[in-house]
Amino acid sequence: MTPRRRRLLLVCGIVAGVAVSTGLALTAFRQNVTFYFIPSQVASGAVHSGEDFRLGGMVTKGSIHRVPGTLEIHFLVTDCTRTVPVTYTGLLPDLFREGQGVIAHGHLNGAGVFVADTVLAKHDEKYMPPEMAKQIEAEHGGVMPFGAEGDRLHTTTQAACAPQSPAQALSAAPPSTQASRGASRSPAAEGPPQASTRLPGGL
């Protein structure tokens, strides 16, 4: 074996060793790199009550309810399997909209309501002009002709949210959703990008 060949094997060995050990370490610490929990994980007891964590999901359409004269807001966060009610007082990012991704930091109170101290908007990787969004919504019934390979939140909720018929969507939603449907809507949700708010959750 020539010295050069030995060095080649050494470098390849180092790369392989680092890759394997990093892979094992990241798999072992998977829970600790979880940036947020989706409602299904919360429902299955992944978080202890009273503990601070981030809740990620889609803002259920028609669930936004503002308390007049205050900055208090109530809405539902869903992954289309389970839903968590959220209450928050404060300023919201512009992209906080119905049917869009959201990541809230806070804790669950005794009544199972998530009391948020921070609310961040999470958008997907799709960029297009407004006319194209309207056209896609008209032609494909809101289903994007793009591939499904997206981030974790959008790929997990897309499967659960997208292919439902209206009847299924209603039965999957908790009673509180329907109760608050038609309640006072936020100006943000009725802003210019109307087409977007009608696209299904993940899209």
Partner 1 sequence: MTWTWFHRLGSPPHIYRLATRLTPWFAWPAALIIVAALYGGLVLAPPDYQQGDGFRMVYVHAPCAWMSLMVYTTLAVASAVGLIWRMKVAYAVAASCAPIGASFTAAALMTGMLFGRPMWGTYWAWDPQLTFELVLLFIYLGYMGLRSSFDDPQRADRASSMLAVVGFIDVPIIHFSTTWWNSLHQAPSVLRFGKPTIALPMLIPLLMMLLGFTLYFVAILLVRLRGEILRRERSASWLREAIVS
Residues that bind partner 1 (CB under 8 A): 4, 7-8, 10-11, 14-15, 18-19, 22, 26, 30, 33-38, 56, 92-96, 100, 103, 118-133, 144, 146-155, 193, 195-196
DSSP code, position 1: -
Q: Measured from the CB of residue 179, what is the shortest distance to partner 1 in angstroms?
A: 28
- Choose among 103, 60, 54, 14: nearest CA to 201: 60
Minimum Å gap between C-beta 173 and partner 1 is 23
Complex with partner 1: residue 134 or 176, whichever CB lies closer: 134
How is residue 100 written in tokens? 């869009």
Question: In this complex, which beta carbon is closest to partner 1, that of residue 116 or of residue 173?
Answer: 116
CB of 62 to partner 1, least distance (A): 19
CA-based max dimension of the chain: 80
Query: What does DSSP assign to residue 123?
Result: -
The residue among 142, 183, 146 whose CA lies nearest residue 165 is 142
Q: Which is nearer to partner 1, 152 or 181 (CB)?
A: 152
Rounded CA gap, 39 and 32, in Å?
A: 18
- In angstroms, give the least distance from the CB of 79 to partner 1: 11
Q: What SS3 class is residue 116?
A: strand
Measured from the CB atom, the residue of 113 and 120 that comes closer to partner 1 is: 120
